Amino acid sequence: MAINLSLAASENDTIFHPALRIGVDVSGFARQIIEPEVFPIEVSVDFEWRENFFAVAEAGMLTVNMERETHQYTADGFFGRAGADYNLLQHITDPSNDVILVSLRYGYSRFRQEAPLIIIPDEYWGDHQTAVDEDIYQAHWMEAGIGLKTEVFHNLFFGWSLRGKILLSGTSYPEMDPYYVGGYGSSDNNTAMTLHYSLYYRFPIR
């Protein structure tokens, strides 16, 4: 009887295997359809170093190329985030690899921007033409969120995440406020909310 109980217990035991997951944020492509002048691209890596605990790194690039009758604006640079995820689904007997995650990140962005043409209309004196030379903008922020990653095929995942962000600091007194901060969002406020959709592939580590 003791042997049978031991065998039954071993059959129900869950053996933890670390896994590495690489993802691509596809929401940037959707954004370009709505707002063609803004194009972000982003990749991510997460590593389940301990069961239900994930170390995460995300990095991307942003390009803005805007042309209007009264102004032109360009920007390009990079951004990155680092932090951790925790899985709220505690898989004990369920073999599914799906996860519901709460996340915490630190983010940093650095990019150059310029406005080579600005036209200030004036019906009396006539239009005035000016420009803003290239400068560098940097930003730091924290973000927290919740998300889901579900396995749609063997080791292939689709996921989404909703994140709230708080701007910690940005370049003081820039010559021109940025149109969009890569990895963060609009620079109009010290808080932001973003929704991300991504595809991932999981590499189990035996």
Residue 131 belongs to domain with CATH number: 2.40.160.20
Is 8 inside any structural domain? no
Is 13 inside any structural domain? no
Closest CA to 109 of 83, 82, 78: 78
Is 26 inside any structural domain? yes
Query: Once rounded to an integer, what is the mean pLDDT over residues 150-154?
Result: 93
Assign 3-state DSSP to the chain and report helix, strand, coil percentages, each to 5: 10, 65, 25
- What is the per-residue pLDDT for 189? 86
Is 180 inside any structural domain? yes
Is 79 inside any structural domain? yes
- What is the per-residue pLDDT for 141? 97
Rounded-to-integer distance, Cα 52 and Cα 94, Å: 14
Which residues span the domain enclosing 130?
Answer: 19-204
In terms of phi and psi (left: phi > 0; alpha: psi -120 to 50; beta: otherwise), the region of 43 is: beta
Confidence at 95, pLDDT banded by 50, 70, 90 = low
Is 169 inside any structural domain? yes
Is 1 inside any structural domain? no
**pTM of the predicted protein model:** 0.84
Rounded-to-integer distance, Cα 53 and Cα 48, Å: 6
Is pLDDT above 70 for 12?
no
**Count: domains in the chain:** 1
- What is the per-residue pLDDT for 206? 72
Is 119 inside any structural domain? yes
Q: Tell me the two tokens of residue 126.
A: 């006539």
List, for residues 15-70, the tens digit of each pLDDT value.
777 889 999 999 888 888 888 888 999 999 999 988 899 999 999 999 999 988 88
